[in-house]
Copies of this chain bind each other. A is one copy, B any other.
């Protein structure tokens, strides 16, 4: 993990340790057991058919194919803050007091975060105070080599088959896409060599992973995967996935919008407000970083709108067949505010205002309160475990002959956990959560020769 000492990083480590060592803790409601609730792999099921009596049979998603158990992951990573892992966990203020108390000695045994690269232009100025744990120098090529060595060493020290590199560090500003600088693989590599200003830390980590042949997942919203980076991954048949953990509001929105539009109801406006008081919120209170988040949060309804030209007029088409505008769209605003008092307990407020039958209106107002990092952490686990799994899947075209190949570099099957899913350049993004899950289920089932759910249940419809 990059950002190991942050809220997500420390929560992930502490909860894995609690699960591994079976630490139960006291709360005012009684004893709480550690668990993996919130992980779709470990806490949800998939329907694989019916039994003799016609009853549905469901199995845990993680049992469809052999997957790594989160307890078995080796933990480590980088952070620009060198604070020890137990202290970092306290700083995060995410976990219950008595869990913190008990897991603290275990956390203290973890190695502190490795030094990382800090290019102040990319994250909020207010983060500077944390940056006390840096790889020295300004030479980006040297930084790249340093990171690659870190990856190799971690793999070797822990005797691992596979390292998944995961960006859960602060949201960076967007990188400008500059021809000759980051638009091709070669340009990007050259830019690193020349320590070009527009190479972000996250892109550097992505490049390091690609060159090491290890999968890289971007849990932040920024455009880590500049075109040159994607090309590099393709060239090396390395795996990449992103962007931005889809933990709460956006996930719900991708459900809600799908539901409404599918029901023939026309959302006219979606107003989404958030406030939170953790370090992520602090970083996002800076305009350019917020921008990255705003972008990743904004496109989520687009595919549903585009899919329903009965409700939304399509773009006007010019004489040459090109769209002259974006077509009709619901008004959509996204606001994120930093409110220290609420800490990690994020509040997300959404209003859906829709047109219904014959001029009627429906107003749906949603208030959502949730420990942000407790939603995000299981997603990180799911992404890491799925990414590893997908590196092991091979296919061949046609029924026989031909060699088996690995999957395509961009792991769009991870979309279910991501706000702004990265897909193969030139193909369409699917944001509808139902379709994303359907894709993942169908894929896993196909790997073991099971069919997709049609829900036809024909025997219940015929004589």
Contact = CB atoms under 8 A, between A and B. Distances in A.
Interface stretch (A42-50, A115-123, A158-166): A42-50
A93 B356 contact: no
Contacts of A366: 364-367
A145 interface: no
B356 A370 contact: yes
Given A26-B97, A331-B339, A407-B462, A370 B374 contact: no
A77 B426 CA distance: 54
A74 interface: no
A333 to B, nearest CB: 5
A407 B339 contact: no
A38 B341 contact: no
A315 interface: no
Interface in A338-363: 339-343, 347, 349, 351, 353, 355-363
Contacts of A309: 45, 58
Given A269-B342, A370-B362, A443 B463 contact: no
A144 to B, nearest CB: 27
Contacts of A255: 255-256, 259
A439 B40 CA distance: 23
Contacts of A27: 97, 359
A320 interface: no
A356 B37 contact: yes
Contacts of A310: 42-45, 60
Interface in A9-55: 15, 18, 25-30, 32, 34-45, 47, 54-55
A430 to B, nearest CB: 7
Contacts of A456: 439, 442-443, 446, 452
Given A28-B100, A335-B335, A264 B460 contact: no
A265 interface: yes
Interface string A68-89: 0000000000000000000000
Interface in A417-460: 423-424, 426-428, 430, 433-439, 442-443, 446, 452-457, 459-460
Contacts of A3: none
B32 A358 contact: yes
A252 interface: yes
Contacts of A333: 275, 337, 339
Nearest to A436: B455
Contact of A308 (B58, B430, B462): B58
A36 B357 contact: yes
Contact of A28 (B94, B342, B434): B94
B460 A412 contact: yes
Contacts of A337: 271, 333, 335
A31 to B, nearest CB: 10
17 contacts: A28-B97, A35-B358, A36-B264, A37-B265, A37-B357, A38-B264, A38-B356, A41-B264, A43-B311, A44-B311, A54-B428, A99-B359, A331-B341, A357-B374, A362-B370, A412-B460, A439-B456
Which 5 pairs, one residue from A and one from B, show the smallest C-beta to C-beta distance?
Answer: A43-B264, A360-B374, A269-B341, A439-B455, A268-B341
